[in-house]
Amino acid sequence: MIPEASMIKINIVYADYFRSFALYQLWHNYLRIAFTVSHITISIASFLIMAAAIERYLQVHSSPRGISLLGYVSRHRTGIGVGAFLLGVLLRGTVFFEIQIYHVSECSGFASIGVELTKLSRNRYYDAIWRFWTRKTTTVFLPFFTLAYCNAAIVYNLQTIERNRVAKTLFLSIVYGQRMESFRFKSRLKSATRMLIMVVTCYLIANIIDVFIAAWEYIDGASLMEYGEFYTVATDIASFLSVLSAGLRLPIYVINDRVIRKEVSCLQ
C-alpha cells in the first residue's frame, strides 16, 4: 500500500522547516516520478537477492536435480537479471498512476498544492486484487519467505558439509599425517552463517511493519484511520527501514566476506 500519510508528513516538514514554496513546489513536480522509481528499485533489489539466494541454495544442495537447476541458473544469469528488472517495472510501475498532484485555485502558498490518491487507486477491486494480493504478495511476501527458507537451508547444508569435512580431515590426519585445516572450514561456516542471518534479519525488520500495516489496511482500513498518529509514524519507519536495509547490505557483505572486502579496498 502507498504510505499516503508519510507523504503528507514530508509536506509538513518542508512547510514548517524550510519555509520555501519553490522547494515545496519542486518536490511536488518530481514526486510521482521519484516515488515510482524508488518503489521499482526496491522491488528489483528484492528479486535479485532472492535469485542470488536460490542460486546459493542450489550450490550447497547436492541433489542431481539441484545440480541440473544450478547449471541452468548459472547459464541464464543475465536473463534472470533482466527478468527481475522487468518484473519490478511491471509490478511497481503502476505506482505512477496511483498518486496525483492537486491544485486549489482559491488558496495560495503551501495550501494551494497537495498530494492525493487517484480514482484508480481508490477502486476497491484494483486495491484488493492488484495492490494487495498481486503486488504486495509478489514483492514482499514471496521474496521474504523464499529468502528465509533458502538461508535456513543453506545454513543447515553448510553445517552438514562442515561435519563431513572435519571427519574426513581428522581421518586423513590420523592415518596419513596430513595437516588439519578444520579451523579454516569452521571460520568459513561462521562467516557465511553470520552473513546470512544478518541479511535475513535486516530484510525481516525492514518489511514486517510494512506487511502488518498493509494487512491492516486491507482487513479493516477504517479502524486503522482511528490511529492516525500511529499510522503516520509506522509508515515513516517502514519507509526508513527499507532504505536502511538496502544500505546495510554492502557493509554486511564487506564485513563477513574477505574476498568482497579485498575488492572494495582496491576501489579506494
Along the 268 residues of the chain, how does pLDDT read in single tens digits?
444 445 545 555 655 566 778 878 888 888 899 889 988 998 998 898 888 888 888 887 767 787 888 888 889 999 999 999 999 999 999 999 999 999 998 888 878 888 889 999 889 899 889 988 899 889 988 988 888 888 788 778 777 766 666 556 655 555 555 454 444 555 555 676 677 778 777 887 888 888 788 778 777 777 877 887 888 788 888 878 887 887 888 888 888 877 778 877 887 6
What is the Cα–Cα distance from 41 to 88, expressed in whole angstroms? 7
Q: What is the pLDDT of residue 165?
A: 65
Q: What is the pLDDT of residue 1?
A: 44
> What domains, with CATH codes, occur in the chain?
4-258 (1.20.1070)
Q: What is the pLDDT of residue 170?
A: 57
What is the Cα–Cα distance from 142 to 133, expressed in whole angstroms? 11
CB–CB of 254/194 below 8 Å? no
Q: What is the pLDDT of residue 162?
A: 65
> If DSSP codes are grouped into helix, strand and coil, which group holds residue 106?
coil
> If DSSP codes are grouped into helix, strand and coil, which group holds residue 2?
coil
| Cell output for 94 | 503502476
- How far the first Cα of the chain sits from its last, in Å, is 40
pTM here? Answer: 0.76
Q: What is the pLDDT of residue 109?
A: 81
CB–CB of 161/60 below 8 Å? yes
Q: What is the pLDDT of residue 246?
A: 77
Q: What is the pLDDT of residue 172?
A: 54
Q: What is the pLDDT of residue 205?
A: 82
